Amino acid sequence: MSGALHTIPDHDLRELLLLEEQLKKLETREAAQTSFMAYVDHVYDGFIVGRHHKIIAEKLERIASGDLKRLIVNMPPRHSKSEFASYLMPSWFLGRNAKLKIIQATMNTELAVRFGRKVRDLIADPIYHEIFPDTDLKPDSQAAGRWETSAGGEYFAAGWIDYHCPDTVVQEGSYGQVTASAG
């Protein structure tokens, strides 16, 4: 085939190259919309994939499809738990369904808001729109800890341990449990 390329006019070669680039972009988009690891690879420059990342990604895909209702991830620090569950997963879920309502609950509000800012900023980034061109932020609702998509989806950041007394901490759990500790 390469021998025949010299017989094709330059204009046609440029058009062929543009078509190949468009096809590659569409294939990347389709893969990243359905595969969490393909999405991570696209939006997280230089991410190094480990076996544990693939396992977590498969579980997150099962949550997205509705096959898995709950997931607890216990791993040592610096293994991408927060990057996946608190940053990349919410943005991927909202790209797949911009009407979702997400609550980001962490140990304190400051951390939850920090993740909210990262997710919001990623959704506003052009690299995100290469994968999810129809998901964008509502212009008048973009606070770091509480924002909305233009399709009606919502993101709300909340802290679990925000009720402090000098000698007592009260933490409310997800199923109505209350744990109190006295110092």
Is residue 1 included in any domain, yes or no?
no
Q: Which one-letter DSSP state was computed for residue 69?
A: -
Residues 144-163 pLDDT 10s: 999 999 999 999 988 876 54
- Does residue 171 register a pLDDT over 50? no
Evaluate whether residue 26 is within a structural domain: yes
78: left (phi over 0), alpha (psi -120 to 50) or beta: left
- CB 101, CB 153: distance < 8 Å: yes
Closest CA to 102 of 155, 174, 64: 155
Residue 155 forms beta bridges with which residues?
Answer: 102, 147
Is the residue at 155 inside a domain? yes
Whether 140 maps to a domain, the answer reads: yes
> pLDDT per residue over 83-106, tens digit each?
998 899 999 999 999 999 998 888
Comparing CA positions, the residue from 85, 102, 88, 110 lying closest to residue 156 is: 102
Total of domains in the chain: 1
CA 27/CA 5 separation, integer angstroms: 25
Is residue 121 domain-resident?
yes
Q: What percent of the chain has pLDDT over 90?
A: 54
Q: pLDDT digits over 5-52, tens only?
A: 678 888 878 888 888 999 898 899 999 999 999 999 999 999 999 999
Return the pLDDT at 176: 39
What is the per-residue burial (b if ≥16 Cβ within 10 Å, else e) of 114-128?
Answer: bbbbbbbebbeeeeb
139: three-class secondary structure by DSSP: strand
* Residue environment code for 88-99, b if the CB has 16+ CB neighbours within 10 A, otherwise e: bbbbbbbbbebe
Does residue 167 have a pLDDT over 60? no
Domain enclosing residue 30, as ranges: 7-182
CATH number of domain containing 166: 3.40.50.300
Say if 88 falls within a structural domain.
yes
Distances (CA, A) of 92 to 85, 118, 122: 10, 13, 10
Whether 2 maps to a domain, the answer reads no
pLDDT per residue as tens digits for the range 100-141: 999 888 888 898 899 999 999 999 999 999 999 999 999 999
Q: Evaluate whether residue 105 is within a structural domain.
A: yes
- Is residue 74's pLDDT more than 80? yes
pTM value is 0.80
